[in-house]
A and B are shown apart, each in its own frame.
Chain A
Amino acid sequence: DADVTQTPRNRITKTGKRIMLECSQTKGHDRMYWYRQDPGLGLRLIYYSFDVKDINKGEISDGYSVSRQAQAKFSLSLESAIPNQTALYFCATSDFWGYTFGSGTRLTVV
């Protein structure tokens, strides 16, 4: 099993729909992240969580919300999806030495 698992891998949704992206990890790390990747912009931080009781906004949190259900689970929600949220989304965990990323969720909002 992968250290960081994201579901779904691909999703097409309609404008205005609510959608949740899920992430689970087996690394035992406290810190988890959601990033968004767009061409030419690299990885931009949406939200991060230091532990189950701690949630922090990242660089581009507008239009997104998160829930840290357990140490191993961190989900990202788009309350009302819009086309410019079409992107590749990555979940990650980290320890002192760096990050472990999931394989990504490709989200298309039509």
Chain B
Amino acid sequence: DQQVKQNSPSLSVQEGRISILNCDYTNSMFDYFLWYKKYPAEGPTFLISISSIKDKNEDGRFTVFLNKSAKHLSLHIVPSQPGDSAVYFCAASEGWDNYGQNFVFGPGTRLSVLP
């Protein structure tokens, strides 16, 4: 059973509007979350993170919200731009061990921003 779920395989949004990508998790021990963005023919690249001590983290047009009680996080992109069209992966970790963290990835959501 998937511990990290992204139930929308794809999302289309008009340029300039808000994109909201959702991620749900089942493991209550997860306490650090990442969003990765992936363009075709490239590896995923880090976008934004949030730890469980926060409920919001903002970086420019990108904001991640965390609702621990609902085991849900969301990525908001405002305003959406055509260059944001990519696959977005949510990833979660239980925390540190001696070497760092092991992340579990969701299946991804393909965002298409239409001009």
Contact = CB atoms under 8 A, between A and B. Distances in A.
A9 to B, nearest CB: 8
A4 B93 CA distance: 22
A31 B44 CA distance: 17
Interface stretch (B60-68, B76-84, B94-102): B94-102
Given A104-B41, A104-B42, A98 B99 contact: no
A103 B42 contact: yes
A42 B43 contact: no
A43 B46 contact: no
B107 A42 contact: yes
**Which of B9, B99, B108 has its CB near the most chain A CB atoms (within 10 A)?**
B99
A91 B94 CA distance: 21
Interface in A61-110: 90, 92, 94-104
Interface of A: 4, 30-31, 35, 40-44, 48, 50-51, 90, 92, 94-104
